[in-house]
Amino acid sequence: MAKKSKLSTPSWILEGYDSEAEYNKVKGVDKKKKSGKTFKIRKCPECGSDDVGIILSGSDSDQGGGKDWECHKCKWTGANVEERELNEDEFMKYLDDKGEETA
């Protein structure tokens, strides 16, 4: 029979905060889930283009574990790609500003 693990005291209690909400506010944790559809946009930190893709090489392509990104516009490569999360209205405005066709 498998041994059950013990419950541990939450970190907000161990660090002396009065509530979990206060702890999250001080630590900058945002647990609010956005309602509706959300869209992620990744941008190149060098040129700001959204034409970036993940680099798959060797064994990474078999397991989907590639961590490096490449900008197809300026040929920048690295791991710290900018990521923004937009709701549906913000995403549609972004596409309009970019000049993409929307159905």
> Helix, strand or coil for residue 15?
coil
CA angle 27, 28, 34 (to 5 degrees): 140
Tell me how far apart the terminal alpha carbons of the chain are, to the nearest angstrom. 57
Is 0.85 topped by the overall pTM? no
Query: How much is the pLDDT for 33?
Result: 61
The domain spans of the chain are 37-103
Per residue in 14-56, pLDDT (tens digit) is 888 888 888 888 877 766 665 678 888 898 888 888 888 888 7
